[in-house]
């Protein structure tokens, strides 16, 4: 099952362009990966201390991982985000 809230590809692409610009605010090195779920593909941002205990940052509804950029440096110093 795939769920999408995009009206069309143009709107989806505009969102991802804006998302990439916002993600540039992330203050520490990061990488992206994509995880397949029963509801579609989920984008995951990975950063922080590779050997640190993992912390999963879940954003609020209708937001994105970019909401965590202010906390990323402090949390990422000791944890894998």
pLDDT (tens digit per residue) in 34-64:
999 998 898 899 999 999 999 999 998 888 8
How big is the chain, counted in residues? 81
More confident call, 22 vs 77:
77
Q: Three-state DSSP class for 53?
A: strand
Does the residue 38 lie in any domain? yes
Average pLDDT over residues 66-72: 94
Does the residue 67 lie in any domain? yes
Exposure class string for 14-48: b at 16+ Cβ within 10 A, else e: eeeeeeeeebeebeeebeeeeeeeeeeeeeebebb
Position 61 scores a pLDDT of 85
Domain of 29 in residue numbering reads as 9-80
For the chain, what is the domain count? 1
Does the residue 63 lie in any domain? yes
Position 17 scores a pLDDT of 94
33 pLDDT above the threshold of 80: yes
The answer to whether the beta carbons of residues 13 and 27 sit under 8 Å apart is no
Number of H helices, E strands in the chain: 2, 4
């Amino acid at each position: 099952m795939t769920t999408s809230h995009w009206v069309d590809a143009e709107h989806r692409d505009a969102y991802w362009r804006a998302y990439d610009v916002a993600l540039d605010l992330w203050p520490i090195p990061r990488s992206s990966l994509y995880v397949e779920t029963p509801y579609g593909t989920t984008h995951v941002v990975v950063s922080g201390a590779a050997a640190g205990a993992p912390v999963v940052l879940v954003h609020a509804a209708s937001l994105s991982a970019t909401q965590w950029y202010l906390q990323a440096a402090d949390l990422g110093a000791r944890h894998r985000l």
